[in-house]
Amino acid sequence: MNGATALLRTAADAGVRVCFANPGTTELPLVVALDDVPEIRPVLGLFEGVCTGAADGFARMAGTPAMALLHLGPGLANGLANLHNARRARTPVLTVVGDHATDHHVHDAPLESDIATLAAPMSSWVGTASRAAEMAVRTAEAITAARQGGPATLIVPADAQWDAAGPMEVPAAPPPAPAAYPVAEAARLLTTGDGPAALLLGGGALTPTALRAAGRIALATGCRLLSETFPARMERGGGLPAPERLPYPLPQARAVLGDLETLVLVGARAPVAFFAYPDQPRTPIADHTTVHTLAGQSQDGAVALEQLAEAVAAGADPRATTGSSPVELPTSGPLSPESIAAVLAALQPEGAIVVDEAVTTGRAYFPLAAAAPPHTYLALTGGSIGQGLPCATGAAVADPDRAVIAFQADGSAMYTLQALWTHAREGLDVTTLLCANRSYRILQGELAHAGLAERGPAAAALTDLSSPTVDWVLLAEGMGVPGRRVTTVEELVPALTEALSTPGPRLLELIL
């Protein structure tokens, strides 16, 4: 067995099932070795940001690590923006980056660069398997690190891939230490305070079990339920308790949190302003609020919530927290964020996976979808746009029996539109709702918010996408995805119904 096979065998034994790849010459031993390790499915991405975003989407859904295979420093650099999102989501991604053979570095060949330095800010762990004999151990270390803290980057020189690896000895990963959650203090704050209190849920505290426990706590103590603005993965609908999402704009977030005496964090960080603005506070939390962390981001928020529910709500009936009326389907009218949200929330099938990178068009959707059938919601965790279509790719590979809906803004889609080709190539059941407002609408809003509404020609030019207009139907068709343009609710309802009931990828271009 050579080093490349040792890497893949170790990864397969650790549960890796897919490799989203864009390889080059320095990764060819790994490309060849994939044929010897059939447990790992190779999926070609035509841009590295597609590979890293797809690995993120796959691992968010599967819960097991996904692999991205990239070519040297430049290939990694192309994939970094979506590794950033995966790092913010703490997704277990194993990024494998080929490097020149060890004795070739001195020649400073054209593709030579400092891969470890490029990888560091977007990785929870960076390591190199310098020799074939180290390949299995380093791979196991990287996967353990990825499971604990998010993306791990393993650099593999070409000679370490092609040399013989010798016997594989992989020490078993140490079992995670049992966590103790400060339940008593949380219970005291929620039951003895006389001002308003809230739980802010994020990370692993957005599973059905966690949400039901949170619902019981809310019922028993009167606290409010809030969720992170951009959760990595959240189960929603079907009568699950529906926390209010912390709004993205700072003034609205301050309005939601402003009166709190107590804020208990479960799997979420203390919220901060997305951006700083002159003369505005940097966080939405009021000075008088006591913030208590029940479970950190790397801990099991669901377990912590169940323990807290036992402490404060032993008798509460979880069923009493459920109940929602179905979303009413609009039948006519112009396309708008509101009408699109209502059509989607009303038509999305049970078990759908909704990948939300719809930016401004998507804001109306989240509250409505609480009343939709049970589904999974995946958000843009790190704010680095160009994640939606790749994330949908990975989610669809992970869950081929579920309908994946890429709810997608136009400007963001242009960063990684090559993902559509992978949707077609792999026959993925992804319906892309492409929201064509033909602008960077959010930035136009930010300009207004900053008091710069009187835009000069430069500001107008740098936020407008209407000249020339992008033809998404042609782009989709050109990559093998059937596309259709939709301009009214009358057209959207049958088009979306058809797209969702037909297997395979579809793109609907929604003209706003």
Ligand X SMILES: Cc1ncc(C[n+]2csc(CCOP(=O)(O)OP(=O)(O)O)c2C)c(N)n1
DSSP structural state of residue 170: -
* Least distance between ligand X and beta carbon 132 (Å): 37
With binding defined as CB under 6 A, does residue 360 bind ligand X?
Answer: yes
Which residue in the set 383, 480, 482, 504 belongs to the binding site for ligand X (CB under 6 A)? 383
With binding defined as CB under 6 A, does residue 437 bind ligand X?
Answer: yes
Contact window for ligand X (CB under 6 A) among 69-77, 127-135, 273-281, 440-448: 440-448
CB atoms within 10 A of CB 268: 27
Backbone torsion region of residue 77, taken as left when φ is above 0, otherwise alpha when ψ lies between -120 and 50, otherwise beta = alpha
Which one, of 301, 304, 408, lies nearest residue 359 by Cα?
408
* Least distance between Mg ion and beta carbon 167 (Å): 55
Q: Are 88 and 115 in contact (CB under 8 A)?
A: no
Token pair listed for 96: 């494998």
* Least distance between ligand X and beta carbon 473 (Å): 17
Q: Which residue, 146 or 417, has its beta carbon nearer to ligand X? A: 417
Mapping DSSP onto H, E and C, the string for 70-136 reads EEHHHHHHHHHHHHHHHHHHCCCEEEEEEECCHHHHHHCCCCCCCHHHHHHHHCCEEEECCCHHHHH
Which residue in the set 442, 447, 493, 499 belongs to the binding site for ligand X (CB under 6 A)? 442
- In degrees and rounded to multiples of 5, residue 66 shows phi and psi of -115, 150
* Least distance between ligand X and beta carbon 266 (Å): 27
Q: Which residue, 268 or 359, has its beta carbon nearer to ligand X? A: 359
With binding defined as CB under 6 A, does residue 441 bind ligand X?
Answer: yes
Which one, of 82, 63, 71, 90, lies nearest residue 24 by Cα?
71
Q: Which residue, 231 or 411, has its beta carbon nearer to Mg ion? A: 411
* Least distance between ligand X and beta carbon 340 (Å): 12
With binding defined as CB under 5 A, does residue 437 bind Mg ion?
Answer: yes
67, 207, 255, 264, 353 from 260: Cα distances, Å: 42, 25, 10, 10, 33
Burial 190-214 (b: 16+ CB within 10 A, else e): beeeeebbbbbbbbbbbbeebbbbb
With binding defined as CB under 6 A, does residue 359 bind ligand X?
Answer: yes
- Four-CA torsion 320, 325, 326, 327, nearest 10 degrees: -130
Q: Are 238 and 321 in contact (CB under 8 A)?
A: no
| E-only strand ranges, 228-271 | 234-236, 244-245, 262-266
With binding defined as CB under 6 A, does residue 411 bind ligand X?
Answer: yes
* Least distance between ligand X and beta carbon 57 (Å): 17
Give me the helix-helix angle, 135-149 and 3-13, nearest 10°.
Answer: 40
Residue 385's binding partner among ligand X, Mg ion, none (Cβ under 5 to 8 angstroms by kind) is ligand X
Q: Which residue, 354 or 398, has its beta carbon nearer to ligand X? A: 354
Scanning residues 95 to 134, which ones bind ligand X (CB under 6 A)? none
Q: Which residue, 125 or 472, has its beta carbon nearer to ligand X? A: 472
Q: Which residue is nearest to ligand X (CB)?
A: 411
Residue 391's binding partner among ligand X, Mg ion, none (Cβ under 5 to 8 angstroms by kind) is none
* Least distance between ligand X and beta carbon 414 (Å): 8
* Least distance between Mg ion and beta carbon 306 (Å): 41
Residues 6 or more apart whose Cβ sits within 8 Å of residue 474: 483
With binding defined as CB under 6 A, does residue 440 bind ligand X?
Answer: yes
Residue 384's binding partner among Mg ion, ligand X, none (Cβ under 5 to 8 angstroms by kind) is ligand X
Scanning residues 80 to 99, which ones bind ligand X (CB under 6 A)? 81
Scanning residues 266 to 285, which ones bind Mg ion (CB under 5 A)? none
The amino acid occupying position 176 is P
* Least distance between ligand X and beta carbon 314 (Å): 45
The contact set with Mg ion (CB under 5 A) reads 409-411, 437
Residues that bind ligand X (CB under 6 A): 81, 359-361, 383-386, 409-412, 437, 439-443
